[in-house]
């Protein structure tokens, strides 16, 4: 999907341009979303965690009343998957209660009339033990504290805004503005003769800039509220992704050695299968994100630039 298509139709009746508010704008996805909107001349307000703590219900309502947005994109999240296992209450305050505060402020009329909320969620709401892609309508069954808290946020958004709440699940994110697997592999290629990478977890490496464009397209499409999956097409293991990074660097991909999840024990169990289906996009006339390899190649110059 091109950037041009991504912003077409981001208007409400009468040609009135949309006012956007992005929470968690200092994060990897939030940064790309604000940049994409600003680059297209959209009216966007980005609020980082320091500028708006979504766990503060009064502050959320005040911020929305001040900005009067037509679209809110909630990128604010506790994303430390392992730390959530020992601090689930703190993760829930952001991922669950914080999402509820955002949705409640819109439901209470603190934003512009007809305001829509796009809430970012995760593959971790599923158990990760499937053998075919998880559909948008599949019943969640999280196995981690992080997944449980993100599911609580989904439920709050859908419950408080049944006609104006969009849940966009994504996974395996990488981008230029935060720590992530791809940037780590670029660094390790320079520092080590070889790296051991897990080859028994499957998912969809996804560029944050692609998700940003997908969110913009969804908000401007007139699509019904509901659940949408914004991940790249295709399937890869972390081992596959690491080898592709080495190839793009002009390095020998055989320097990447396959290993198993058991070699890297973590507090939160990693889902062996994190592949999400994309059928909901077709029902609203939008294309899903394309193949993960093509996106990685497109993203690579920016990833390298940030590491210089």
The answer to whether residues 185 and 195 touch, using CB atoms and an 8 Å cutoff, is yes
* Residues 26 and 49: beta-carbon distance below 8 Å: yes
- Give the confidence band of 10 by pLDDT, cuts at 50, 70, 90: low
| Alpha-carbon distance values, 99 to 19, 96, 300 (Å) | 20, 5, 32
The pLDDT-based confidence of 117 (bands split at 50, 70, 90) is very high
Domain ranges of the chain: 3-179+206-233+275-290
Nearest Cα to 292, choosing from 307, 278, 272?
278
The arithmetic mean of pLDDT across residues 269-287, rounded, is: 97
Note the pLDDT tens digit of each residue in 195-208.
999 999 999 999 99
For residues 63 and 57, is the Cβ–Cβ distance under 8 A? Answer: no
Cα-Cα end-to-end distance for the chain: 29
Q: For 92, what's the count of Cα atoms within 13 Å in the CB-facing half-sphere?
A: 10
Domain topology for 3-179+206-233+275-290: Rossmann fold (3.40.50)
What's the token pair of residue 278? 């994309």
Give the residue-averaged pLDDT of 80-108: 98
Could you give the C-alpha distances from 263 to 106, 176, 268, in angstroms and in order?
45, 28, 14
Whether 12 shows a pLDDT value over 60: the answer reads no
Q: How confident is the model at residue 81 (pLDDT cuts 50, 70, 90)?
A: very high
Residue 26 backbone dihedrals phi, psi, to 5 degrees: -85, -10
Q: Which of 6, 63, 91, 88 is nearest to 40 (CA)?
A: 6
pTM of the model: 0.94
pLDDT digits (tens, 9 = 90+) for 15-29: 568 999 999 999 999
- Across residues 77-93, what is the average pLDDT? 98
Reported as a single tens digit per residue, the pLDDT across 208-261 is: 999 999 999 999 999 999 999 999 999 999 999 999 999 999 999 999 999 999
Residues belonging to the active site: 146
> Does residue 46 register a pLDDT over 50?
yes
Share of the chain above pLDDT 90, in %: 92
pLDDT at 307 (0 to 100): 66
The angle formed by the CA atoms of residues 167, 207 and 191, to the nearest 5 degrees, is 135
């Amino acid at each position: 999907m091109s950037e041009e298509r991504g912003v077409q139709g981001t208007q409400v009746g009468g040609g009135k341009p949309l006012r956007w508010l992005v929470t968690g704008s200092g994060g990897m996805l939030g940064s790309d979303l604000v940049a994409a909107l600003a680059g297209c001349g959209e009216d966007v307000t980005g609020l980082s965690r320091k500028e708006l703590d979504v766990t503060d219900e009064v502050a959320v309502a005040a911020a929305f009343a001040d900005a009067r947005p037509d679209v809110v994109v909630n990128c604010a999240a506790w994303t430390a998957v392992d730390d959530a296992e020992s601090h689930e209450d703190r993760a829930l305050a952001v991922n669950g209660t914080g999402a509820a505060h955002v949705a409640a402020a819109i439901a209470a009329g603190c934003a512009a009339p007809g305001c829509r909320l796009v809430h970012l969620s995760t593959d971790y709401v599923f158990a990760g033990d499937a053998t075919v892609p998880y559909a948008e309508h599949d019943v969640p069954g999280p196995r981690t504290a992080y997944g449980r808290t993100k599911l609580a946020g989904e439920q709050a958004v859908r419950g408080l805004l049944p006609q104006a709440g969009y849940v966009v699940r994504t996974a395996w994110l990488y981008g230029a503005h935060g720590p992530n697997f791809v940037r780590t592999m670029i660094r390790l290629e320079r520092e080590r003769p070889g790296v051991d990478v897990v080859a028994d977890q499957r998912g969809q490496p996804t560029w944050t800039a692609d998700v940003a464009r997908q969110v913009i397209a969804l908000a401007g499409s007139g699509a019904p509220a509901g659940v949408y999956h914004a991940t790249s097409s295709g399937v890869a293991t972390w081992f596959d992704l690491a080898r592709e990074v080495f190839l793009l660097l002009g390095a020998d991909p055989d320097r990447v050695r396959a290993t198993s999840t058991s070699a890297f024990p973590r507090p939160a169990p990693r889902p062996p299968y994190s592949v999400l289906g994309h059928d909901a996009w077709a029902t609203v006339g939008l294309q899903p994100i394309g193949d993960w390899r093509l996106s990685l190649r497109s993203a690579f110059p920016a990833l390298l630039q940030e590491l210089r």
